Structure 1
Amino acid sequence: MKMKSLLGCTLVAMLILTSCNSDDNVSVENENGKIIINNDVQSLNKRIKYNNSGVLDIITPLAGKNTPAQATSMPLVLVAEVNPPVYAGRTLKATHVAINGDYAYVSYNTEGEAYGGAVDVINISNPNTPQLVVQAIFPNTDISAVSYENGKLYIAGAASVDAFPTLSSPGFVSAMTLNNGLLTTNYVQTQLRGNVGTSVTSTGNKYYAVSGGAGDLVAFDKNTNQIQATIPVADLRAVGQNSNKIVVLSGTNGVKVYDAVTMALQNSFSTSVDVPGAKRTIDFLGNNLLVSEGYAGLGVYNSATGSKLQTIAVPTNVTGVDNSDITTNAVSVNNQNLFLANGGAGLYIYKNENQSLSLIGSIAMNGSCNYTMSKGDYIFAAMGNGGLKIAKMVTNTPTLNCSQFPTYNGSAWLNINSNETKEYQGSASLMGLNVNANLTFCGSLSVSQSLNINSGGVFYMKGSLAQGQQSNPWLSLNINNNAVMRVEGNVVIYGNLVLNSGAKLEFIGNNSTITIHGTVSKSNNVTITGTFTDTFNKL
C-alpha cells in the first residue's frame, strides 16, 4: 500500500479557517482544495449492497477451507458491503474506520501516484439496514486514517504538492468539528514533515499524529490546534494511546513509548523491519502491545519491558492464495477478542485465554483484507478491491438467564434425533440444524445453511438467532408439518421462511422481533401467536 500525501494548514475559501502561528502551518486557499460535502442520502445509499448479506461461515483451525467441522463460539453475520466512492474517474480505496455511537467514519485514498480521498459517515443504529448519511470528497488529497473524540474527527493523510504549491511536504493532520456527528467544513489542517500523515489519536487535551518517510510524532493542543511537541522518528506507521502513554510504530525503528503529557521517552524496543510504505496498525490488550508486522505476522509485546510474549505467524498454504499475498496488515482488539486482517487469507479471529491468544477461526473475504477494526458488536474490513465489509456479532439478550443449561461445544452440524430432548446455552456458529424432537437453545446462535424443524419437532430459541444467506434464499428456515418454533428474543432470517401445514410460530414475552429478508410461504392451518415486531412486515 502506498505511502504518499495529503494537505497543508487549512483548506479553501469554503472552509472556516483558523489562524496559523507555526511555520509548519501553511494556509491553503485553492478552489481545487475544497471539501465537497454530499448529503444526498438516496444517491449515497446506492453504494450499499446486501446481495451477500447473511451468516458467515467460520473456518476452524483443524477444518478444510470450506468445511468447518466444529461449531465456533462467535456467530457472525455479514450485514452489508459498501462500494467505494468514485471521484474524477478513479475508484477510491477504504483505509481506516473510526466508530462513535451510531456512526462509523470510513476514510479513503487513491491507489498509485494520483491523489484523492474521501470520508463516509455510515449510520449503524439499525443493524439490518445501515445508511450512508453523508460523504466528504477531498480532491487532490489522500486520507490515511481517522479518529473520533468528543465531537471532533481527527484526520491524517497526504496532499498533492503539485495541486497545492504552497506546501513543502504532502503529509498533514487536521481536526474537523462535527455537527451532531456529521461532517462539516469547519476544518483546520496542519502540514506535517514527511510524505504522508499515517495515523492519528487523541487523549486528554492533546491529539497526536505521525508521518511516514522522514517523519515526526507531533502533539497538538486540542483547543488551539497549535503544535506542542515534535519528535523526529523515521518511517512512522501508527500511533496509539494506552494508560497515559503514547506509543508509535516505525517500520525501521520499532516501537517507542512516550509520556502523553511531557512527551518524554519512556521505552523503546525493536520489532521486525517492515517493507517500505506498508500500512500497519497497533492495538492494546491490557498492558500488552499488539503489532501487525506484515510478513512477520502479529507480535505481542510487554509494552513496559519490550519483551516479546507471543508471535502469531501469517497463515500458510491457504488454498487458492499466493503466499506473497498473505500478510498481517492490521490488528483490532474488542474486549477479549482479536481480529487480524491477513491480506489474501482473509480475516482471522483470536480469543485471549489465560494471557495467550488462541485461534477461533477465519473468514474467507473474497478478496484481500487490508484493514480491520472492531468495536461494540461490529467488525469492519477494508478490502483490496476498495470496498468495505460490515459484519456484526450475533449477541445474546443480556436479561435472559441461561446458566441452567450446558454450553454447546459440538459439531457445526447439529442434529436432534427423534425422542431426544436437548438444552444448550452459549454462543455458537453452526452450518446446519435439524430438530426432529425437542431443542432449547439459550444465547446467540447462527446457522449459515438450512434450519429444519421437522414433523412433531419443537425448537425453543431464547436469545438471538441469525439464519441463512441472501445469496441463496433456498437455504431456508423450515417449520414443517405440525412442528413448533418458539421465539423469546430476536430472529433474523436472511433467506426464506417456509411454514408447512400445521406449523406453529409462537412468540414468548413482549419484546421479540423477527426480520425476514426473503419470502414467507404459508400452507394450511399455520398459526402465529404472541406479541412481536415484524421488522419488514412479512408475516
Structure 2
Amino acid sequence: MIENKLKLGFLAASLLITVAGCSSDDNVDATASQEESGVLSNSEMKLTYGSKLLGNYMSLKNSRITFNRFSDASQSQAVAQALKTVNSYQPDLTNAVALTGNQWYTINSGDKYYIPANTTFTGGINFNGAGTLIILGNLGGSNWLNVPNGGVVDVAPSGNIQSTANFHLNAGSTLNNYGNVTYTTQTVDGTVNNFSELVFTQQLSLNGSSVVNNNCSMVFNGFTQLNAALNNGGFADFKAGFHINGSGNLVLATGSLTDITGGNITVDGKIKNTSNGFARIDISNAATIGNMNATPAFEGKIDINTTATIYSSKINSDVTLNANTFIASNSCTPQRGLAACDDSVLQFTLAATVQSPTVNGAVLSATDVKVVNGNAYVSYHTNDEVYGDAANGSVRIFNVQNQQAASLTAQADFNNAEFNGIDVSGSKVYAVGGNNAGSRLMTTPLTAGAFNTNDLSVFTTHKLPSITGKNSFVHNNMLWLVAGANNGGFFKLDPANGFAVTDQFYSQGARAKYVAQNGTYQAFFAVEGSGAYLRIANIDGTNPQEYRYPTLAQTVQDGKNVITMDDEYVYVALSDKGVAKFSLQNGSLVSHFVPNDYRVNGSKVFKQNGYTNGVAVNDCYLYLANGADGVIVLNKNSFNVVGHFNLAESANYIYADNGLLFVATGRNGLNIIKIN
C-alpha cells in the first residue's frame, strides 16, 4: 500500500500557532493541559485545541427530556387493568333481593339477587333465566347452581364461591370474578372473566362454547382439555397438564406467566402470543412434553423455560428458550427472572448540544463515537446530498468525565478527507473514510488522551482499498476494515506493512456495511439482495461462521446499518426492517422488532415511518436512532418497548457508554444525554 503523509511541515506562511496559559513546569497535569488553547494549520488541515477556543460550539443544557414511557412490560397490562378493576368495583344493587340463610330462591329473566357481605348463603337457587346474581359474601352449601344462557354472576372483591358449592356455567352464561372462586364442576360452557383468584379443582373440559379470560390468577388442579380459547393475561398454573385440541388455543399476553408444574402436555391447536412483548412459560421437571402434532405448536414472543427437549420445528422464530425473562411480582403473579433493570425509573437528561463543525462552508455530520478513559472521540463527514462529493471531515475530542459539564477540547478539521468511522487503540486514533481519490485512513497518536499540539506531521493518511472506508477496529496490531463500493468488502490489513491487505473475507463492496467487536468475538454485517448476511468469528478472525437470513431482506439498502454487541448477542440496525438480535454462539435470530409495525391498542405508535439508522446497547437497554421518530428504547432481554423520546431533529446515529448517550442529528449537531 502507498502511505501518503499530509503536507504538515511547519511552513511559516501556512502555520499559525497561538498558545495561551502554557506552564513552564516539566510535569503539566491533565487539567492544566486541557486549559491550553491554540490553533495550528496548513493547507491540508487545521487543529484547534482548548475549551476556551471551542466553547462556543457547546451549549450545556442539563434539562430533563420528556420520555414517553409505556406500561412496564414485565407486568401484564391485563393484570394492571385487573387490579384497577377490582379496586374500583362497585356493585349495582338497585332493586336487588338479598339471599339469606338456607332457603330456596328462583332467579328469572330480569331478576337481580345478591348475597350480602359477611354472610354465607347455603340454600338453593333455581337459575331459570337471564338474571343477575351478585355475591358480596359467601356462596356455600352443597346445592347445584347452573347458570343458564344470559345469566350473569358477579363475585365482588369481598365475595367467595366456596368449594362445597356445585357451580356450573352453561353456554351463554357469564362469570365475572373480582373475588375468590372455587370451581368444582368439570366443564365450562360459558364465559369466565377473571380479575382475581379462581381455582378449578377437578379434571376440566373447556368446551367449544366457552371463553375463558384470565387477567389475574387461575389454577388448574386437574388435567385440562382446551377445546376453545383460554386467554391468559396474568398467571395460570396447570398442575396436571393439558391437551389443546385442534379447535383450542392457549393465547398469552405480554408479561403473562404460565406454569406447567405436573402432568403431560400435548398440543394439536396452538400456544401463541400475538402481542408485542414477551410472555413466559415455565415447564417444571415434574411435567412431561407429549405429542406436539401442531407445527409449530408455539408461536410469537414466548420465552419457554424448561430442561425438556422442544424440537425446533415446534416453535417459530419469535420463540426463545430459557431466556429467564423477568416477570414482575404483584398480587396476581409471582416474580420470575432477574430484575436487573427497572423500567419505571429510567429517565434521560439532555446534558449538552454541540454544533457541528463547518469546513469550507460545509456543515458536517457526526458519524461515529468511541469513548476511552473519559474522552469521547467523534468523527464527521460531509453530507453528499447537500454538498455533493466535497470531502471535508473532522475529528473531535470531548472531555466527558463530568457528565453534567462536558467540554470540547480539540477539533481537527480536514480539507480533503472525510470520516465515516473512528476507533481508538493503543493510544492512537484510527479514522476511516475517503476523498475523491478513494478510501483513506487517518491515524494520529494520543498523549494522555489528547492530540499532539506541537507537530501536525503526526497526522498521517494511508490509502485503503475501494472508494470509501466505512468503519474499522484494531486488534492484535491488525486493522479490520469495512470498505464500500467498487473493490470494497471486509478486510484485514497490516499496519506494520503500510496497511497492506493480508486477507479479504467478503468481496461485495456495495453490500458491505459494518463490523463490531466485544473483546471476544467480531461480527461483520452485509445487506444482500436476498436478505441479511452475518459473519461471526473469534476476535482474531478464527473459527468464522456465516449466516444468512432471507426473512430480513431490506427494501431500503443504502442505510448505514450500524451493529453493536454485548457479551452474548449482536444487534443490527436494519433500516426499514427495524432491529434484530442474534446469538453470537450459533447465529440464531433471537428477537426482531420493527418500529413501523408497533401498535398499542390497535393504534400505530411511531407515525413518522422512520428508519432504524443506528443502535446502541448497555447493561439493560437497546437504543434505536429511528430518524424522525426519535430514540426508541427497548428492554434488550425481552425486546419490549420501554418508551421513546424526540430531539429537535431526526436521530441518525447513537452510541452508549458509561451512562451517556451520544445522538447525532445530522448537520444539526450532536446531543450528549445522561441516562438517569
Q: Note whether the superposition's TM-score is higher than 0.5.
A: yes
Task: Verify: 1:236 aligned to 2:504, yes or no.
Answer: no
Give the secondary-structure state (helix, strand or coil) at the position aligned to 2:423.
strand
Q: Does structure 1 conserve the Cα–Cα contact (< 8 Å) formed by 2:561 and 2:575?
A: yes
- Shift in Å, 1:321: 5.5
- More relative contact order in 1 or in 2 (CA 8 Å, sep 6+)? 1
Give the secondary-structure state (helix, strand or coil) at the position aligned to 2:647.
coil
Amino acid at match of 1:384: G
2:5 is aligned, of 1, 4, 11, to 11
- Shift in Å, 1:38: 1.0
Give the secondary-structure state (helix, strand or coil) at the position aligned to 1:254.
strand
Moved more, 217-226 or 326-335: 217-226
Give the secondary-structure state (helix, strand or coil) at the position aligned to 2:55.
helix
| 1:58 match | 67
| Counterpart-to-counterpart distance in 2, 1:207 and 1:15 | 27
Structure 1 segment 156-167 matched on structure 2, within 5 A: 156-161=432-437
| Counterpart-to-counterpart distance in 2, 1:284 and 1:379 | 16
| Counterpart-to-counterpart distance in 1, 2:560 and 2:42 | 27
Question: Share of identical aligned residues, percent?
Answer: 21
- Shift in Å, 1:377: 1.3
Check 1:15–1:225 CA distance in 2 against 1; reply closer, same or farther (3 A cut). farther
| 2:608 match | 322
| 1:83 match | 355
| Counterpart-to-counterpart distance in 1, 2:621 and 2:343 | 17
Deviation sequence 1:33-55 (CA, Å, 0-9, x none): 723211153231101113x5311
Amino acid at match of 2:444: M
| 2:464 match | 192
Task: Verify: 1:217 aligned to 2:490, yes or no.
Answer: yes
Give the secondary-structure state (helix, strand or coil) at the position aligned to 1:381.
strand
Deviation sequence 1:130-175 (CA, Å, 0-9, x none): 11111001112111011112211111111122xxxxxxxx122333
- Shift in Å, 1:190: 2.8
Task: Verify: 1:178 aligned to 2:459, yes or no.
Answer: no
Amino acid at match of 1:360: V
- Shift in Å, 1:311: 0.7
Amino acid at match of 1:180: A
1:361 is aligned, of 643, 646, 659, to 643
Deviation sequence 1:328-357 (CA, Å, 0-9, x none): 11111112221111111111122234xx22
- Paired residues, what number? 355
- Shift in Å, 1:106: 1.1
1:352 is aligned, of 632, 636, 640, to 636
- Shift in Å, 1:298: 0.3
| 2:546 match | 267
2:592 is aligned, of 293, 311, 320, to 311
| 2:657 match | 375
| Counterpart-to-counterpart distance in 1, 2:381 and 2:649 | 18
Give the secondary-structure state (helix, strand or coil) at the position aligned to 1:44.
helix
- Shift in Å, 1:276: 3.9
Give the secondary-structure state (helix, strand or coil) at the position aligned to 1:277.
coil
**TM-score after normalising by structure 1:** 0.61
1:102 is aligned, of 368, 374, 384, to 374
| 2:423 match | 147
Check 1:320–1:89 CA distance in 2 against 1; reply closer, same or farther (3 A cut). farther
Deviation sequence 1:94-131 (CA, Å, 0-9, x none): 11111012211111111112221101111112222211
| Counterpart-to-counterpart distance in 2, 1:360 and 1:296 | 19
| Counterpart-to-counterpart distance in 1, 2:441 and 2:585 | 28
Q: Does structure 1 conserve the Cα–Cα contact (< 8 Å) formed by 2:375 and 2:400?
A: yes
Task: Verify: 1:336 aligned to 2:634, yes or no.
Answer: no
| Counterpart-to-counterpart distance in 1, 2:49 and 2:519 | 38
Q: Does structure 1 conserve the Cα–Cα contact (< 8 Å) formed by 2:417 and 2:435?
A: yes
Q: Does structure 1 conserve the Cα–Cα contact (< 8 Å) formed by 2:417 and 2:434?
A: yes
Runs of 4+ displaced beyond 6 Å = 317-320
Amino acid at match of 2:412: A
- Shift in Å, 1:294: 0.3
2:395 is aligned, of 111, 116, 119, to 119
| 2:561 match | 280
More helix by share: 2
Q: Does structure 2 conserve the Cα–Cα contact (< 8 Å) formed by 1:318 and 1:345?
A: no
- Shift in Å, 1:390: 0.3
- Shift in Å, 1:229: 2.1
Q: Does structure 1 conserve the Cα–Cα contact (< 8 Å) formed by 2:578 and 2:593?
A: yes
Amino acid at match of 1:80: A
Q: Does structure 1 conserve the Cα–Cα contact (< 8 Å) formed by 2:378 and 2:422?
A: yes
| Greater C-alpha Rg | 2
- Shift in Å, 1:296: 0.2
| 2:57 match | 47
Give the secondary-structure state (helix, strand or coil) at the position aligned to 2:450.
coil
Amino acid at match of 1:138: F
Q: Does structure 2 conserve the Cα–Cα contact (< 8 Å) formed by 1:122 and 1:131?
A: yes
Q: Does structure 1 conserve the Cα–Cα contact (< 8 Å) formed by 2:428 and 2:445?
A: yes
Structure 2 segments unaligned to the other structure (5+ residues): 11-40, 73-341, 598-602
- Shift in Å, 1:224: 5.1
Give the secondary-structure state (helix, strand or coil) at the position aligned to 1:125.
coil
| 2:534 match | 255
| Counterpart-to-counterpart distance in 2, 1:262 and 1:83 | 39
| Counterpart-to-counterpart distance in 1, 2:5 and 2:557 | 30
Structure 1 segment 506-521 matched on structure 2, within 5 A: none
Q: Does structure 2 conserve the Cα–Cα contact (< 8 Å) formed by 1:239 and 1:282?
A: yes
Deviation sequence 1:510-530 (CA, Å, 0-9, x none): xxxxxxxxxxxxxxxxxxxxx
Give the secondary-structure state (helix, strand or coil) at the position aligned to 1:53.
strand
| Counterpart-to-counterpart distance in 2, 1:297 and 1:216 | 23
Q: Does structure 2 conserve the Cα–Cα contact (< 8 Å) formed by 1:8 and 1:159?
A: no
Deviation sequence 1:250-281 (CA, Å, 0-9, x none): 12262122444355643232343463432121
Check 1:138–1:10 CA distance in 2 against 1; reply closer, same or farther (3 A cut). same
- Shift in Å, 1:240: 1.1
Check 1:349–1:254 CA distance in 2 against 1; reply closer, same or farther (3 A cut). same
Q: Does structure 2 conserve the Cα–Cα contact (< 8 Å) formed by 1:274 and 1:293?
A: no
| Counterpart-to-counterpart distance in 1, 2:484 and 2:353 | 30
Q: Does structure 2 conserve the Cα–Cα contact (< 8 Å) formed by 1:49 and 1:82?
A: yes
- Shift in Å, 1:389: 0.2
Q: Does structure 1 conserve the Cα–Cα contact (< 8 Å) formed by 2:6 and 2:460?
A: no
Deviation sequence 1:275-317 (CA, Å, 0-9, x none): 3432121112332221100000001112343321111112467
Structure 1 segment 391-402 matched on structure 2, within 5 A: 391-394=673-676
Structure 1 segments unaligned to the other structure (5+ residues): 1-6, 17-30, 64-69, 162-169, 395-539
| Counterpart-to-counterpart distance in 2, 1:201 and 1:36 | 25
Give the secondary-structure state (helix, strand or coil) at the position aligned to 2:652.
strand
Q: Does structure 2 conserve the Cα–Cα contact (< 8 Å) formed by 1:92 and 1:117?
A: yes
Amino acid at match of 1:177: P
| Counterpart-to-counterpart distance in 2, 1:319 and 1:229 | 45
- Shift in Å, 1:244: 4.0
Amino acid at match of 1:120: R
